[in-house]
Amino acid sequence: MPDSVATLIALALAEDIGAGDVTSRYFIPEERRARAFATARRDGVLSGAEVAARVFLAVDPSLDVEILIADGSQVAAGALLMRIEGAARSILTAERTALNFLQRLSGVATLTASYVAQIRDTPANILDTRKTTPGFRLLEKQAVVHGGGTNHRLGLYDRAMVKDNHLVADGGLPALQAAIHRLKADHPQVEVELEADSLEQVRAFLALDGVDHLLLDNMTLGELRSAVAARGEHPKPQLEASGGVTLNTVHDIALTGVDFISVGALTHSAPALDIGLDFQSL
């Protein structure tokens, strides 16, 4: 697990526990042992089980934690996802933080799976975006993969994405082409994506060298089809539709022939999957 995730777990526990869990300390006997099961209350796709297990072990390394269903699995309401056994105080102290990770990430995976199911009969792929919860990006993007989606760039460092705000300050197509050549010379592994707001821009950008992706921003279905036709049979640049994508519109967008459809809602608007912790006294 990356150090950043371990740090996030530590911050989350510190936020919740503070100076100590006074409820468990004063109302649960120290010697009390318990067994608990993380249980799905609704159907969905599981993500975050590994993280939740780390939360319990961070609170008390002596806990016996067993993941019963792997991340990325479809789960039905009532499914037992994880077993935790040991000191009742420790389980109760870790419960909310562990469930927060598990519910949030499973919600992202479940919503992603819904989008993926809508376009299953097309060659298109569902992409996430950088519209993630600060600090949670690696986990939320992993949850997208668990739901069957595909990761877009992780950050500003692994793909150049030239959007309208960048183009305002440039010197036209010659300056744009020169910048692409400089980037490719210094960082040949970094892909280049240009945002196009119109078919005129699409045609202009198709004439440039070194463009790996075109982002087709808020285009109509007719404009998307025209952009696909303008590219022709060439494999690059790959075409990404973006803007206002919903579960009701994603299938029609996929049928235009675009390669990717990016959906910010996967990470900024996914509802948490209802998961609870059921206890058994020992």
Catalytic annotation, pick one of 195, 223, 240, 259: 195
Catalytic annotation, pick one of 128, 217, 223, 240: 217
* Cβ neighbours for 113, distance < 8 A, ≥ 6 positions apart: 44, 45, 74, 147, 148
Pairing label, strands 159-162, 64-67: unpaired
Catalytic annotation, pick one of 32, 83, 96, 225: 96
Catalytic annotation, pick one of 33, 131, 159, 203: 131
Q: How many residues does the chain have?
A: 282
**Can you tell me the distance from the alpha carbon of 190 to that of 208, in angstroms, rounded to the nearest whole number?**
16
Retrieve residue 45's tokens: 């796709």
In the annotation, is 95 catalytic? Answer: no
In the annotation, is 184 catalytic? Answer: no
**Can you tell me the distance from the alpha carbon of 168 to that of 260, in angstroms, rounded to the nearest whole number?**
25
Catalytic annotation, pick one of 163, 164, 182, 278: 163
Radius of gyration of the chain (CA): 23
In the annotation, is 236 catalytic? Answer: no
Contact 127, 262 (CB under 8 A): yes
Active centre residues (catalytic):
96, 131, 163, 195, 217
